[in-house]
Amino acid sequence: MRTDLPVGIHDLTFATTSLVLTHDELARHTGTNPAKYRHGIGQTSMSIPAADEDIVTMAANAAAPIIERHGTDRIRTVLFATETGIDQSKAAGIHVHQLLGLHRNVRVVELKQACYGATAALQLACALVHADPRQHVLVLASDIARYDLDSPGEATQGAAAAAILITTHPAIATINTPSGLYTRDVMDFWRPNYRTTPIVNGKKSVDTYLEALDLTWHDYQQQGGIPLEKLRAICYHQPFTRMAHKAHHHLLKTTGTTPTTQAIKATTTYNETIGNSYTASLYLALTALLDSTAPLDGETIGLFSYGSGSVAEFLTATLQPGYQPHLRTQAHQQAIADRTPLTYDTYRTLHTAQLPTDGTEHRTPHHTHGTYRLAGTNAHQRLYEAGPARTSST
């Protein structure tokens, strides 16, 4: 076993849903000033899943380009991070394994700790590759942020999946050590098994997020981390994009640095139009930064991961020389542009719709623009299929 080999992100991409609700449309029906959404929380629209889209279909659609580019032979592990799981026992990644045609000599595991889960998966993936440099690990982070209608959290909904391939000698970024860690038992955001939407204490969640940022940064420094001025940019978990600005100001104040928002502006472009995607949110922020026009070859960037309840981590990644040709900027921008706008009434109908719980056969209409779809349910089983994408309006 060699532990000195560079390990990190060899490929990175995301997928979102086929539908979108703009905050202008939401504001027209709620009586809210649209500026409250654009400037107050930093959001302009939110991805909404069609009836035949869920965390499995988004994850499969995100991972497919990685499989097409790199093949499956060296993938030995699939780690699926989510807080909107579809089964209390079976990992959602097993459905993705089947849809993508991965070989059987693979371990598939689901990880959960609110929005932090994907960073746990990333660290586990790096450890597995350090232990066996021949293998590749596919990390999937897929979530649908869904809140009660007419609740304060409604405007922060969203949905997306990130797919990350972890290897030695990565083309995009190495993941560095050390990292700063934090855990505290706090009820700021949670979803009991009997609820389909979470319970949120918004003020407590913001306060706990900032406390976690303070303490992970302090621990990172105690572990021998580099000073703030050596980080070219920082990507933050973004339940709404103004939270990233608030967090950045907070960290700069804590470290005695003059506040500025320019360092994180490029990290918010995808999340402000997709909305919250829980486990995928931080990695959409990273993707947005990398897809920006400024080259960052050789630069080290910070990553702050937070999951309510709560667990947090501050870590860093160093971008590799020549990383930009490996990015998928056009595909990401196209995925956002291709979403079909929803009317407010159609959005509310989709929000209240539920799959049958009595085991009867149910077929979902074909609305997704993606390759993979939830075809329906039968005998308490979810049925997935691959097929041509639908391109007509919904």
Q: What is the pLDDT of residues 304-323, one digit of tens each?
A: 999 999 999 999 999 999 99
Q: Each residue of 210-241: pLDDT tens digit?
A: 999 999 999 999 999 999 999 999 999 999 99
Q: What is the mean pLDDT of residues 366-375?
A: 96
Does residue 387 surpass a pLDDT of 80?
no
Average pLDDT over residues 360-378: 97
Q: What is the pLDDT of residue 227?
A: 94
The reply to whether 7-172+327-386 and 174-321 are identical in fold is yes
pLDDT at 262: 61
Q: Is the pLDDT of residue 282 over 80?
A: yes
User: What average pLDDT does the chain have?
Assistant: 95
Say whether 200 sits in a helix, a strand or coil.
strand
Q: Which residues pair with 16 in a beta bridge?
A: 160
Q: What angle do CA 309, 350, 244 make, to 5 degrees?
A: 40
Pairwise CA distance, residues 214 & 246, whole Å: 13
pLDDT in tens, 52-81: 999 999 999 999 999 999 999 999 999 999
Token reading at 165: 């391939």
Which residues contact residue 120 at a Cβ distance below 8 angstroms, ignoring those fewer than 6 apart?
81, 111, 113, 311
* Per CATH, domain 7-172+327-386 is 3.40.47.10: yes
* 83 has catalytic annotation: yes
pLDDT at 392: 42
Average confidence (pLDDT) over 357-386:
97
* pLDDT tens profile 19-40: 999 999 999 999 999 999 999 9
Beta-strand pair 173-175/340-341: unpaired
Question: Is 229 a catalytic site residue?
Answer: no
Across the range 108-118, mean pLDDT stands at 98
Mean pLDDT for the stretch of residues 332-358: 97
Question: What pLDDT score was predicted for residue 388?
Answer: 72
pLDDT attached to residue 1:
46
Catalytic residue (choose from 237, 248, 332, 369): 237
Read off the pLDDT of each residue in 324-349 and give the average, rounded to a whole number. 97
- Quick check: 125 pLDDT over 80? yes
Q: What is the pLDDT of residue 390?
A: 62
Which of the following is catalytic: 10, 23, 83, 235? 83
Per-residue pLDDT at 391: 54
Given the residues 10, 23, 110, 115, select the one marked as catalytic: 115
pLDDT confidence of residue 258: 74
Domain ranges of the chain: 7-172+327-386, 174-321
Task: Classify strands 136-145 and 75-81 as parallel, antiparallel or unpaired.
Answer: parallel
Q: C-alpha angle with apex 281: 350 to 331, nearest 5 degrees?
A: 80
Q: Which CATH number fits domain 174-321: 3.40.50.10420, 3.40.47.10, 2.40.50.140, 3.50.30.60?
A: 3.40.47.10
Position 393 scores a pLDDT of: 42
**Chain segment 141-191, per-residue pLDDT in tens:** 999 999 999 999 999 999 999 999 999 999 999 999 999 999 999 999 999
Amino acid at the residue 163:
A
Write b or e for each residue in 13-40: b if 16 or more Cβ atoms lie within 10 A of its Cβ, otherwise e. Answer: bbbbbbbbbbbebbbeeeeeebeebbee
Residue 337 three-state SS: helix
User: Smallest Cα–Cα separation from 154: which of 208, 197, 201?
Assistant: 197
Give the strand order in the sheet containing 340-341. 45-48, 19-22, 340-341
DSSP state of 197: S
